[in-house]
């Protein structure tokens, strides 16, 4: 339900629904229906530009620390947070975001020699394996780095932090690296921090500051997806702030 609401209410789908309402109002001779439709269309165009989408992403990633704290315990494990999954003709599989995180986590584990924990809960189909199980399979088969811990219950970022911290504490581990996309890490680090479990964020493929120019303001449909992810992340941070 949470995923469905964020898909329908956030742009671009949410703005399309507003545009439909605006068109209906304009057809009924409501003068401001036309202005609402114009504003909605303009917002859709702007969210499809690299300038706006990358600005939203940069706003989330600019404050992510990337150094190991010197005044706390050193990381003793690598936590890889699950992102997305997909289904093809061969059945369920990890999605591209998760694959990027696995690649970065495997490289980090290879450099540091630390064990890996993967976390990701049930998929939408009850018959599909949990995301963490598929992640562990990809780590072993594609990157040659088996996961020591598989956390298959987490349904959101808070669960990722809670269940991962509990599993590692049970093994006497009090700090870890956490691997995710840079735009997701502020919320993830906050979730671990609320549990009193120190983590060092390792961002995947961080954003660059928008450079401006004609190309940066040229709309492209693939940037709607990036804008949606960034707006959903800001909404998640707002929910965390209200719960705090």
In tens, the pLDDT along 35-77 reads: 899 999 999 999 999 999 999 999 998 878 766 666 778 999 9
Average pLDDT of the chain? 91
Asked if 102 and 135 touch (Cβ cutoff 8 Å), the reply is: yes
Domain co-membership, 116 together with 176 = yes
Question: Parallel, antiparallel, or unpaired for β 91-94 and 85-88?
Answer: antiparallel
pLDDT value of residue 68: 61
Mean pLDDT of 200-204: 93
Domain co-membership, 190 together with 232 = no
| Tokens 């992810």 sit on residue | 229
How far apart CA 205 and CA 54 sit, in angstroms, is 13
pLDDT value of residue 132: 98
pLDDT at 2 over 90: no
Residue 199 maps to which CATH number?
3.40.50.620
Burial 21-31 (b: 16+ CB within 10 A, else e): ebeebbeeeee
Total structural domains in the chain? 2
Domain co-membership, 178 together with 228 = no
Band the pLDDT of 170: cuts 50, 70, 90: very high
Dihedral over Cα of 125, 128, 132, 135: its sign:
negative
Domain co-membership, 49 together with 106 = no
Band the pLDDT of 138: cuts 50, 70, 90: very high
pLDDT at 136 over 70: yes
Condensed to tens digits (0 to 9), the pLDDT of residues 145-169 reads: 999 999 999 999 999 999 999 999 9
Domain co-membership, 181 together with 137 = yes
Question: Parallel, antiparallel, or unpaired for β 78-81 and 176-181?
Answer: parallel
Residue of higher predicted confidence among 124 and 94? 94
How far apart CA 146 and CA 66 sit, in angstroms, is 25
List 149's β-bridge partners, or say none: 117
pLDDT at 86 over 70: yes
pLDDT value of residue 213: 82
pLDDT at 174 over 70: yes
List CB contacts of 195: < 8 A, sequence separation 6 or more: 161, 162, 165
Residue 214 covered by a domain? no
Residue 72 covered by a domain? no
- Domain containing residue 123: 78-204
Domain co-membership, 83 together with 142 = yes
Domain co-membership, 233 together with 131 = no
pLDDT value of residue 28: 85
Domain co-membership, 51 together with 99 = no
Q: Count of CB atoms within 10 A of residue 160's CB?
A: 27
Residue 209 covered by a domain? no
Domain co-membership, 170 together with 82 = yes
């Amino acid at each position: 339900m949470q995923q469905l609401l964020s898909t329908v209410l956030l742009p671009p789908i949410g703005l399309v629904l507003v545009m439909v309402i605006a068109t209906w109002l304009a057809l009924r001779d409501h003068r401001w229906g036309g202005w609402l439709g114009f504003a909605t269309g303009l917002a859709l165009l702007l969210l499809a530009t690299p300038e706006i989408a990358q600005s939203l992403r940069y706003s989330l990633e600019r404050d992510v620390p990337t150094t190991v704290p010197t005044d706390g315990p050193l990381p003793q494990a690598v936590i890889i947070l699950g992102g997305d999954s997909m289904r093809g003709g061969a059945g369920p599989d990890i999605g591209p975001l998760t694959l990027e995180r696995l690649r970065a986590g495997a490289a980090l584990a290879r450099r540091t020699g630390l064990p890996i924990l993967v976390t990701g809960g049930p998929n939408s189909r009850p018959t599909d394996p949990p995301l963490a199980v598929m992640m562990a399979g990809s780590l072993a088969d594609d990157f040659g780095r088996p996961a020591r811990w598989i956390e298959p219950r987490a349904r959101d970022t808070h669960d990722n932090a809670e269940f991962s911290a509990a599993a590692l504490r049970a093994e006497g581990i009090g700090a870890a690296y956490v691997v995710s996309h840079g735009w997701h890490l502020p919320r993830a680090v906050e979730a671990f921090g609320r549990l009193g479990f120190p983590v060092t964020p390792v961002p995947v493929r961080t954003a660059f500051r928008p450079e401006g120019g004609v190309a940066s303001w040229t709309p492209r449909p693939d940037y709607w997806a990036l804008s949606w992810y960034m707006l959903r992340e800001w909404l998640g941070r707002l929910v965390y702030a209200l719960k705090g």
